Amino acid sequence: MARLEARGLLARSEAEGDARAVAVCLTETGTALIDRALVIHARVVHETLTGKFSETERTALLRTLSQIG
């Protein structure tokens, strides 16, 4: 966690009401990094998995996955 804080990706502060706890939150820089990573992740999932299916196959896959959980 110290390295992420040093890179400006997260910030620590005292937790409200409990001196033993520490609150951790993403900084604007951390949020921007996560946002970029999610876009890349979605593209890779599409290119390697869902993009290889027809629309009918994608619908069936989503239906099956929703039944699982």
pLDDT of residue 54: 93
Residue given tokens 């994608």 in the structure block: 58
As assigned by CATH, the class of the 2-68 domain is mainly alpha
For residues 24 and 14, the answer to whether their CB atoms sit within 8 Å is: no
List pLDDT tens digits, range 9-18: 999 998 888 8
Q: Which has more pLDDT, 37 or 15?
A: 37
**Average pLDDT estimate for 38-64:** 93
CA-CA distance, 40 to 51, in Å (whole number)? 14
Each domain of the chain, given as residue ranges in start order, spans 2-68
pTM: 0.67
pLDDT of residue 65: 92
